[in-house]
Structure 1
């Protein structure tokens, strides 16, 4: 399991390591620079054989100090190295200043703003050591111009490879947002743990390949004084996968009964995709609830999935009187008409005037939802259900801890307009507001798990527990951007809820499996392929 850190968390860990007396700041800087050089040679082993030319662009902080170490080590390797600095060397932090002076014993330092045009041709490597993870404001154009010039020279036969230390200058390490117009790197080398910005927003696109260098301070994460620091709230990358195995002696209902609500005739495809996903992921029984006139259409397309007529809210209440139905999916292809609104209300346990009745034995008409609705049953709200929720603010009060909301960016903005506005605002000072922050805030407001979709899917619950499921780097699966893939994801979550997974684990595990199925199938994927790829993925996991 990998943990992702904010810039503040990384600084706290380094400071704790230094305060412990186990390591000095200079030693950490030396380890970082050595790790960058080793990563360069691991990525391009052909560079190790002979001498080459490198350019190191250093900034005014400790990231620049790391750059001076890299320059010195490459020089020791026999390379011709040129260094440029932004800022006054007299104002460098103490450790960076030491490494600046060490470099002066080997070579000169030029002014970053005076790098001539075409300078980067015939250079094998250009190292970006300008700003690193501490950047929290927009970068001046003239400071990143050399990086763009180097990138433009990349297409030349002797063009350079771009390497960023910690994170490309101009990328927010907390959000993955861009603070400057910068080109993509070939390689980014970060330290100890990846940062949020390596996996959020545009960060992965700019980072190129990502390597993590161990600084030898992992034990600091286990120290009580660090762990109890308020801002050290963990964010997990590609959350661990709970147990999937079925015990052979159990019957189908022991693995749950998922009910997927469908829209009218001609709009049942989304619900069928969700139902297939729920069945393949292991729900013991799956039923599609659709308008009675849509039963023939669905029957022609479904075999193992059962069908039930659900004409309106009352019919849903009657269906939910069956306590074996322990997970419900509402939204895919549902429709935004009166029936759709009724079904969302009943699914949330809201009273529907003229429809709701008490379905307990001997019960009569009542003003509360039936015994099968509301908390206690897993509920996935997706697609049209999210639009209905955004149009009916009173429904928010009925959300509960057994719900999972699965918005994409547009749906998130409709559900949480103020949070979305804060997320879209440019960072001008202080720690930037990230997709992680936005999802956590949305989950706290809704009182349930929120899965905010995207290549950088973020899952959070009301306690602040959070995971990022990344489809980047070696897990990039662009072919997931196909109609219906989100419906399958909703079905996966519903199926795991039926199997007894917690809402958070169901969402995080489903998002991980969703990407794994896409990677297993490869290009040419359509949504129908995702559930059918699950058995192969499970076998690869040894299940």
Structure 2
């Protein structure tokens, strides 16, 4: 069982309930947790507001409502506080019913309607209040998670509050990183409320945030006494010359990503054209199975990228089988994934039986082609679907998107929150494949290699900023390496 002992751990509603229950068993009263939570919310709410500012507090029937009421109590006096209550006994001397909220603007609205336990769509009263709030353009501070967001999946349950800030407690929630919940969450503030550290060893965590704390100690790094062969030799298959840009992007990313050597494998009649486009990347002819078999006899070629711009589905299937049966590490992307769509079980058998690590990097369309039944199941979140796909395929699956999910067949999972909207451009997925291959070539374990590659890819985009195109990403990787080196203290 994965547990939430690390700050990277992400909780669902069951984890939150279990943490509260275990805290109570350790001697911390629920009332104490509410007092601490309300205090943290009040502190965040008060920051930046002038005395006398108008604050509306929406208090629901559960623990979020209790936290909201405590915050309101602490804010009264310094600020003009109006409490709107829903689903609880309403004391007219202290609060108003939520349905009476008419959309009047406030300097701040504290959203304490619903928290992690919400499973059903918001009812008509709440939906109308959410609509009026959006129209008012009042800034919102949500407690735990914006009301209307499913904490497990990030889905909008009928309607959801758009918060500028969210205060959550002790650990983040799945729905704060999964889309569209991440967009509704705004700036996320994690506040401690006094749950003992020992509690977290017994609290289940379905996934982790994909951050260096999760994998940095497993990442391979160049050593002063090392040489290029210690850092592995990555191989990228090139397709037709007119589509070779994708493979060249992957190869450049593999080299900048840390591989000691990188070779582009292409048809011999394309090598001259390829040579005009690369310098540090080596070239080798590969017209068919015999050429690949000869290359696989040299075990120094230890990580492969197959798919970007490859084009030939039949050859992709053959080459993938040969690599996997040789026990080498493989990133299968783009055309390499689509090549197995007619008979995915053939790929899955090879992945399950291979001694090398396999990483599949599908975008949403490729995921649907390779895992049609899983993709068609509306009951599955993106995390659920990726986990089902990983179990079925026997590979580490990187389900790409704004909320990229990385999962293993044994249940480990990470959700990424790096990157910018500018990554939605041609070729960035090819770069990601190359960065992951670089970590595999250096000997990083498969899950950690995939996680690190995704994070490095996103950070490179953040370093570049607006106007990004795929060619820019490899050039940003030295800055990413420097950042990771500083984190290691070296």
Indicate whether the TM-score tops 0.5.
Answer: yes
Partner of 2:152: 174
Q: Tell me if the contact between 1:128 and 1:147 (Cα under 8 Å) persists in the aligned partners.
A: no
8 Å Cα contact 2:208-2:414 kept in structure 1: yes
The list of structure 1 runs, each at least 4 consecutive aligned residues, that deviate by more than 4 angstroms after superposition, is 231-234
Alignment RMSD: 1.9
What SS does the corresponding residue of 2:410 show, helix, strand or coil? coil
Picking from 230, 237, 242, the partner of 2:210 is 237
Pick one of 438, 449, 456 that aligns with 2:385: 438
C-alpha change, 1:179 and 1:414, in structure 2 (3 Å) is same
Please show how residues 52-201 of structure 1 align to structure 2 within 5 Å: 52-75=53-76, 77-89=77-89, 107-115=93-101, 117-118=102-103, 120-121=104-105, 123-154=106-137, 160-201=138-179
2:3 counterpart residue number: none
Which of 528-537 and 498-507 deviates more? 528-537
Match of 1:249 in 2: 225
Deviation (angstroms), 1:492: 0.6
How far is the alpha carbon of 1:234 from its aligned partner?
4.7
Q: Kindly indicate whether residue 448 of structure 2 is the aligned counterpart of residue 505 of structure 1.
A: yes
Q: 2:300 aligns with which of 317, 321, 324?
A: 324
Q: State the SS of the aligned residue for 1:60.
A: coil
SS of corresponding position for 1:296 = helix
Offset at residue 315 of structure 1 (A): 2.0
Gaps of 5+ in 1: 90-99, 155-159, 350-372, 426-432
| 1:335-414 paired onto structure 2 within 5 Å | 335-349=311-325, 373=326, 375=327, 377-393=328-344, 394-399=346-351, 400=354, 402-414=357-369
Correspondence for 2:34 among 21, 24, 29: 29
Give me the TM-score of the superposition, normalised by structure 2: 0.92
C-alpha distance in structure 2 between counterparts of 1:61 and 1:540, whole Å: 42
Contact 1:192 1:218 in 2 (8 A): no
Structure 2 unmatched runs, 5+: 1-6
Question: 1:260–1:4: structure 2 CA closer, same or farther, 3 Å change rule?
Answer: same
| 1:209-242 alpha-carbon deviations (Å, 9 max, x no partner) | 111111111414355xx25xxx444524323324
Answer yes or no: is the 8 Å Cα contact 1:13–1:220 preserved in 2: no
Q: Compared with structure 1, are the counterparts of its residues 255 and 197 closer, same or farther at alpha carbon in structure 2 (3 Å cutoff)? A: same
Aligned pair count? 473
CA distance in 2, matches of 1:309, 1:58: 68
Tell me how far apart the structure 1 counterparts of residues 109 and 206 of structure 2 sit (CA, whole Å). Answer: 35
Does the CA contact (< 8 Å) of 1:17 and 1:220 recur in 2?
A: no
SS in 1 for 2:404: strand
Could you report, residue by residue, the CA deviation over 1:123-152 in whole angstroms, capped at 9, with x for unpaired residues? 211121111111011111321322221221
**Residue 267 in structure 1 maps to residue 250 in structure 2:** no
Give 3-state SS (helix, strand or coil) of 2:157's partner: coil
Residues 128-185 of structure 1: per-residue CA shift (max 9 Å, x gap): 111111101111132132222122122xxxxx22121111111111111110223421
- Among candidates 418, 432, 445, match of residue 373 of structure 2: 418
Secondary structure of 1:241's aligned partner: helix
1: distance between equivalents of 2:143 and 2:58? 10
Q: Deviations over 1:239-273 (max 9, x none)?
A: 33244431233332221111111111211111111
Distance 1:237 1:337, change over 3 A: closer
